């Protein structure tokens, strides 16, 4: 069963989200403060963190920063802070998604399902040539040797592997990897990250298709 840590100080909202996610088949650990969340979060045992920003004993952004030093767990912010700079700060600190209150519970559940689909089945691998990614560990390997990738580089690699042989556009990558749809992002974000990924795994796997996007050139298989 996939495990979610919910950090939300509004008790009614916390209980409501928890109940809905449990009905959807997830195990939910509820926290109402940073202190409680710190005690509940164990790297490798939590698949998704849903986190408020303004909390009674500090900022969820600081919690996100601490998590990112020890885990690649998915992080979704759920907050009343709706300015562009708030969103940019969250993404810069390692957030995977950002929802503003009031929000649709159905949309939240849909996003949670999407994150869990990315994880794949426990222990599963996706492999292509010398490159493989372990879904449960969320780690990449080349010739069975670990490859040091950032959170976004790893997500980009997975997106390309899962769409091997298909041309994917810059817009698709921004939507699926950065979870951005119509929000401001530097136009060089995708090319820069593609270039970094190539430098770490080799240039042979990813090909630029002029005017269309990028393609993973090798066949990929899930094991």
Whether residue 19 is predicted with pLDDT greater than 90 in this model: the reply is: yes
Residue 83's Cβ-count burial label (10 Å; 0-12, 13-18, 19+) is exposed
What pLDDT was estimated at residue 134?
Answer: 84
Asked whether 57 and 9 are in contact (CB, 8 A), the reply is: no
Whether residue 12 is predicted with pLDDT greater than 60 in this model: the reply is: yes
- Work out the average pLDDT over 30-40: 93
What pLDDT was estimated at residue 179?
Answer: 67
Class of domain 3-119: alpha beta
Domain ranges of the chain: 3-119, 125-222
Average pLDDT of the residues of the chain: 87
pLDDT tens for 80-137 read 887 888 888 888 888 888 898 888 899 999 989 888 877 654 447 888 999 999 877 7
Q: Which two tokens stand for residue 216?
A: 């993973």
**Any bridge partners for residue 48, and if so which?**
4, 74
Give me the CATH topology for the region 125-222: Arc Repressor Mutant, subunit A (1.10.10)
Handedness of CA 53, 93, 133, 167 (dihedral sign): positive
- Work out the average pLDDT over 160-173: 91
- Secondary structure in 3-state letters for 50-82: EECCEECCEEHHHHHHHHHCCCCCEEEEEECCC
């Amino acid at each position: 069963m996939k495990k979610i840590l919910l950090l939300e100080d509004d008790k009614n909202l916390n209980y409501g989200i928890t109940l809905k996610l449990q009905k959807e088949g997830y195990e939910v650990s509820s926290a109402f403060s940073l202190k409680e969340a710190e005690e509940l979060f164990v790297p490798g045992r939590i698949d998704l963190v849903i986190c408020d920003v303004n909390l009674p004993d500090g900022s969820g952004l600081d919690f996100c920063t601490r998590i990112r030093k020890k885990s690649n767990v998915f992080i979704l912010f759920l907050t009343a802070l709706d300015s562009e700079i708030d969103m940019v700060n969250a993404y810069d600190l390692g957030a995977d998604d950002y929802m503003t209150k009031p929000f649709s519970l159905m949309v939240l559940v849909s996003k949670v399902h999407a994150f869990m689909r990315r994880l794949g089945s426990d222990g599963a691998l996706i492999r292509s040539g010398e490159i493989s990614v372990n879904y449960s560990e969320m780690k990449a390997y080349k010739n069975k040797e670990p490859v040091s990738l950032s959170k976004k580089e790893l997500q980009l690699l997975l997106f390309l592997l899962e769409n091997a042989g298909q041309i994917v556009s810059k817009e698709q990558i921004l939507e699926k990897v950065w979870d951005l749809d119509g929000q401001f992002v530097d136009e060089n974000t995708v090319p820069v990250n593609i270039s970094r990924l190539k430098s770490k795994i080799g240039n042979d796997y990813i090909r630029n298709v002029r005017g269309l996007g990028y393609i993973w050139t090798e066949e990929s298989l899930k094991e």
